[in-house]
Amino acid sequence: MVIKNVRTLILMNTIYYEAHNNLYLNLTNRCSADCVFCIRNFADGVYGYDLRLSKEPSTEEIIVALEELDLSNYREIVFTGLGEPTLRLDVVLTVTRWLKNRGLRVRLDTNGHAALINPKLDVVAELKKAGMDSISVSLNAESEEKYNKLCRPVNKNAYRAVLDFVRRAKEAGISTRVTVVKIPDIDIEKCRKVSEELDSDFHIRTLSEAASKEIGNN
Ligand code: SF4
């Protein structure tokens, strides 16, 4: 009976999807920010997958779904999706441990607010302990003022928390990069400088077609 329910849920909700030889896990549609360029404002998902969840998958449901796949086919298993994964940090940590026990590479794509979202935990230490291989943090602004304007975080100190999260992850020895989306409002070169000061890798992301059209980035 439990398994039947799990299968039904999998059919209704996209727990995972494939792209770039990776497997992406979609844990939540919630976020601690409301970026003007967020795909959630323009589409139901990416790469043809509908990522709107009618119910967030439990750890058990995710693991049951993953057990049906040949995970060795993927370069990395990535926590991402249509929301902020660290709003469900307990799920991220448990599933990461499960994946690492099977020798897989695991990445977290995050807005970097984890310490604000989980103030009682040393989030970076927990991620390191679980075996997280790499972290990709959305920076998306060269200053706090710009960040608050473009990313509209719930907590107005979020930009400092993002920088601190990157620093801490680097110090913990986790491979860490910062990303920016390519839109006219963001000064890519200044963001690159911030990234250099953090001694982090830097990656420029192209906005989805749907978002580009809406915010006039074409
Ligand atoms: S941090 Fe990511 S999921 Fe959250 S609003 Fe911004 S783009 Fe969307």
Task: Identify the helix (H) or strand (E) that includes residue 136.
Answer: strand 134-138
Helix 59-67 to helix 2-12 angle, to the nearest 10 degrees? 80
* C-alpha 49 to ligand 1 mean position (Å): 17
Q: What integer pLDDT is reported at residue 189 of this predicted model? A: 97
Contact 167, 100 (CB under 8 A): no
Give the residue whose CA is nearest to atom 5 of ligand 1. 34
Q: Could you give the CA distance from residue 156 to residue 130 in angstroms, rounded to a whole number?
A: 29
117-131 pLDDT, tens per residue? 999 999 999 999 999
pLDDT in tens, 48-66: 899 999 999 999 999 999 9
Task: Record the tokens describing residue 135, joined without a space.
Answer: 């972290």
From the list 16, 159, 145, the residue with the least C-alpha distance to 80 is: 16
Give the three-class secondary structure for 145: helix
How far apart, in whole angstroms, are the C-alpha atoms of residue 74 and residue 18?
9
**Tokens matching residue 11:** 């059919």
pLDDT tens, residue by residue, 14-30: 999 999 999 999 999 99
Q: pLDDT of 133-146, one tens digit each?
A: 999 999 999 999 99
Nearest-CA residue for atom 6 of ligand 1: 35
- Ligand 1 atom closest to Cα of 34? 5
- pTM equals 0.92
Ligand 1 geometric centre to CA of 2 (Å): 32
Amino acid 9: pLDDT: 45
Ordered domains of the chain (ranges, CATH): 2-215 (3.20.20.70)
